[in-house]
Amino acid sequence: MKARPTHFKRLLKFLRRKGRSHEDAEDLIQEAMLRLHLYGRTVPVVNEEAFLRQAVTNLSIDQHRRDRPDLRKEVPIEEANARSPLIAGEATPEQTLEAEQRLGRIRAVLDAVSLRTREIYFAHRAGYSYAEIADHMNISRITIKRHIARALLAIMEHGDREANGTAHRVSE
């Protein structure tokens, strides 16, 4: 098999663009050429450059997999828990009470809007798309958008009133 300088240069450029060092790229090309030579003994290769390009790609992937640290290694549960706790710390009684009060205020705000607006808002918050909700309720998508806008407007107005009321009480 004679040297193929045009293939070599193109393959070298290809591997260098993929982040391989000059030396690694040369080694991969040499290995691919050896495989071409051995394979060509038994089966005629129609497109040698395509064969070599695929071979260097596969060899490069194999080398990357060999060189990277094993991602599937076992980690003791204590070590994993030390990195990021598996169970969140418990909320303080004050945090629990505050969260319950916030939920109560949001519930009161959403009780002020129509039942249909509330259903559509919660369906959207649950992850359903406008199209899915519209199909289920047999209404148009623009109607879905309007209901969600009404619910958001009610929540925002309540937030503004609450902020103004809180600021007012603080200044008294």
Q: What is the pLDDT of residue 149?
A: 93
| Angle value at C-alpha 16, between 30 and 25, nearest 5 degrees | 20
User: Which residue matches tokens 């509330």?
Assistant: 118
| Angle value at C-alpha 77, between 71 and 80, nearest 5 degrees | 60
Supply the Cα-derived Rg of the chain in whole angstroms: 32
Report d(CA 25, CA 169) in Å as an integer: 72
Q: What is the pLDDT of residue 24?
A: 87
Q: What is the pLDDT of residue 138?
A: 94
Burial 127-165 (b: 16+ CB within 10 A, else e): ebebeebbeeeeeeeeebeebbebbeebbeebeeeeeee
Q: What is the pLDDT of residue 74?
A: 75
- Cβ–Cβ < 8 Å for 146, 104: no
Task: List the chain pLDDT tens, one digit each, 172 residues.
Answer: 454 567 888 888 888 888 888 888 889 889 998 998 898 899 888 888 899 999 999 998 888 888 777 666 777 777 777 777 767 677 788 888 988 888 788 778 888 889 999 899 888 988 899 999 999 999 999 999 999 999 988 888 877 777 676 544 433 3
Q: What is the pLDDT of residue 116?
A: 92
Report residue 17 CA to chain centroid gap. 26
Single pTM value for the model: 0.40
Q: What is the pLDDT of residue 170?
A: 36
Ordered by where they begin, the domains of the chain are: 5-67 (no CATH), 99-171 (1.10.10.10)
- Six-digit token string for 5: 């300088």
